[in-house]
A = this chain, B = another copy of it.
């Protein structure tokens, strides 16, 4: 785009429009609290505002920014509003947004080391940094037999873990000849739905995932897992993998990693630990006990794109033995052969993931860690935990409300004492108000509200106002 040729955007135009886009984003964050957090449009409303036919002639960038305001913004659910308390967060930050911009500008492919060595090496390096920052066992670092890779999502990290476990259990047979329905895997009844989905995708079969019962804190009971493994072996099944969750989606329950690790090691099962959101808390030494026992895990993942100020997508996936993963996923056609790969001197990350192509995602993660420093990251994680615990304290002393489970870290599960119907109506009313966005789950069959503090800019005032809104909207 050095000189505008043909229909391309010229360099000076790019600068001008780029500044305008940066300004648009800054202005968006300045006014994000003026929008309803949950989009209030009806199905089809956004499409109805778009021209049915594509444009024959090019249009101006100004026209596009106008339509972003007019058509798109009303259809946005504002994940970056400090009043977003739904699901898990998918937070952003200035350095992460600029990291995405720079990566888009460079536009490189990181599928092989040779297709951009810096893309691969920065990724390995930053994942080693994070292993240090989180206090992960040395076996997950690239200096030994393990290492880290950025996946798009924890869904794909789980799928990759299952495939590596499948590979280890069948010695390549399932990859070459196909599955035979005998392998089984385990997770708690509270594990993320993506595990069951991955069982189907991997040809292992959704019904071959055993959902193991939990205790009062919603954590997996290892003795029930041991029983299930025995029963499966007796029935001719082949147990190959267990997934422990550090921070379930429903209630942030923490499965006992140490106990599960010992059991899996004794039984020869691959243990994958899914710490998608809660893993970030391990930046703070005082929260590391929640995932104690990782020494016996075969793989681990957490998502900086949830709670570590790094734009989606960015899931950090670690394996203790990268060779099982690579055996499951490597394939080398002639058109990808190159001297560095043949020499085995480098990581080719396409062998660590489902896809071939890959973006330069390490760049944003590098900028986030450098902008905040370890102290900055710890500061904000601690602050979010304090805010959630403050919210829980208010719930606890209010006679109309109750905590559904003891709040862990930054998630509070609570309910009005009036029963399911009252809570459902309350949630609808709150989300329709646009003042905040909450979602729900069911715990012990009861409809339960979830309040998750993790958006980058959420401060005490937002949590205070949210609680006021909840109390006002509740039946008196």
Contacts and interface: CB of A to CB of B under 8 A. Distances in A.
Interface string A1-38: 11001111111111101110111111011100000001
A289 interface: no
A436 to B, nearest CB: 15
Contact of A94 (B9, B197, B334): B9
Contact of A107 (B91, B155, B200, B208): B91
A138 interface: no
Nearest 8 pairs between A and B by C-beta? A203-B203, A75-B118, A9-B94, A178-B205, A7-B376, A18-B22, A25-B105, A179-B203
A270 B296 CA distance: 43
Contacts of A377: 7
A8 B377 CA distance: 10
Interface string A42-72: 0111110010011111110101100010011
16 contacts: A18-B98, A19-B19, A25-B101, A41-B117, A43-B117, A54-B132, A58-B371, A68-B102, A72-B118, A77-B117, A92-B107, A177-B208, A178-B204, A197-B329, A201-B329, A249-B335
A472 interface: no
Interface string A119-155: 1011011000110110000000000000000001101
A374 B58 CA distance: 8
A390 interface: no
Nearest to A96: B104
A373 B109 contact: no
B249 A6 contact: no
A183 B193 contact: no
A94 to B, nearest CB: 3
Interface stretch (A219-227, A228-236, A261-269, A353-361): A353-361
B26 A22 contact: no
A177 B313 contact: no
Query: How many interface residues does chain A have, given as a range?
Result: 35 or more
Nearest to A447: B334
Contact of A2 (B11, B46, B457): B457
Interface in A99-120: 100-102, 104-109, 113-119
A369 interface: yes
A468 interface: no
A312 interface: yes
A76 to B, nearest CB: 5
A116 B204 contact: no
